[in-house]
Amino acid sequence: MGLTGRFFLWFLTVLVNVVISSAFTGTYGVNYGRIADNIPHPESVVTLMKAAKIMNTRIFDADHEVLRAFKGSGIEIMIGLGNEFLRDISMSEDRAMNWVKENVEPFVPGTRIVGIAVGNEILGGGDQELWEVLLPAVKNVHNALDRLQLADKVQVSSPHSAAVFATSYPPSAGAFKESVMPYMKPLLEFFSQIKSPFYINTYPFLAYISDPDHIDLNYALFKKNPGIYDQKTNLHYDNMFEAQIDASYAALEKAGFEKMEVIVSETGWASHGDPNEAAATVTNARTYNLNLRKRLLKKKGTPYRPKQVVKAYVFAMFNENLKPGPTSERNFGLFKADGSVSYSIGFTGLVPSSAKSLITMKGFGSIQLRFYTISAAALVLILSL
């Protein structure tokens, strides 16, 4: 093969790697959960995201109304294949093919579907049967994408919770549970082959409320504090968010996947909670999310991986009034159900007033309108749609 041919092959390899690794634009994304009956319609959500310059979002299903709304928006979206479908999808590639043909193929490239999260927080969870079917489901979905020539555009992954770790403190001690490893290692091997990152849902909020006597609130909120010192690596951490990411890198390294990227698939702070969730306040939620946004916009790495830029999806776009569980679960939103901001971190919101809004509300139909004022920048965006 001549020099020109070798250069062309090299160029194609670089191009494919760039395409596959571009499932996240920039460093900041938002989870768009919809367990609610009072949040804006998807078209209005697109307007909010564009006004806030949010270019990455993640949904937990493959709702067609949402996918149609995001067509032409330029916003990159990761869709979800719910835990309830894993057993069926794991049984045959044909079933995965049917799912992809129904929920992905009709919408691309107009809607920028860049990833499929196959399941959510499976390993370490209570249903061990799902542990066993996760990898077959992942493989079947990827193979279906490959057969449709979409595998280089749509990345397959599976986000994990902190339940996969046996230890995470100090960060260098990060390690996966022995019970999880028989399922985690082959999953990581496959993700390594297809160049998918390790997605982790990390919540300093949950860590703090579970042990407020031993965790400095300022450390959890990115505020000034003494931090912690990791003696093994001689690294200093002044916030829990970075420490939890580096614990993931340490666990991956011990498992033999030191080159795998870590991306945060969920992180956030509740603005309201039950009496035993005293840290769930508007002030703390604003502090965490404002400082997190500032930190991500710096486009830098962690103490242990300084050259690997941190990327994260914040949880969540809206307060979701139908979510079960403690009060905090319904109060993670950057925006309230009416489209106004929950607190100010620099985003443009829609605020109640006497001006008639272009926003219609989910569950109220398209005829009934709410009333808002809107910033000039957001109005220009709406009028340009």
What positions carry a catalytic annotation? 121, 266
Smallest Cα–Cα separation from 332: which of 30, 50, 24?
A: 30
Instruction: Tell me the three state secondary structure of residue 120.
Output: coil
Is the distance from CB of 300 to CB of 310 less than 8 angstroms? yes
Is the distance from CB of 261 to CB of 314 less than 8 angstroms? no
H-run or E-run covering 267: strand 262-267
CA dihedral 75, 81, 84, 90 (to 10 degrees): 180
Query: Going edge to edge, which strands form the sheet with 155-157?
Result: 155-157, 112-118, 76-81, 56-58, 28-31, 312-315, 262-267, 198-201
What's the rounded Cα separation, in Å, for the pair 28 and 181? 30
Lookup: tokens for 60: 């937990």
Neighbours of 355 (CB within 10 A): 12
Lookup: tokens for 54: 């949010």
What's the rounded Cα separation, in Å, for the pair 14 and 20? 10
Is the distance from CB of 176 to CB of 164 less than 8 angstroms? yes
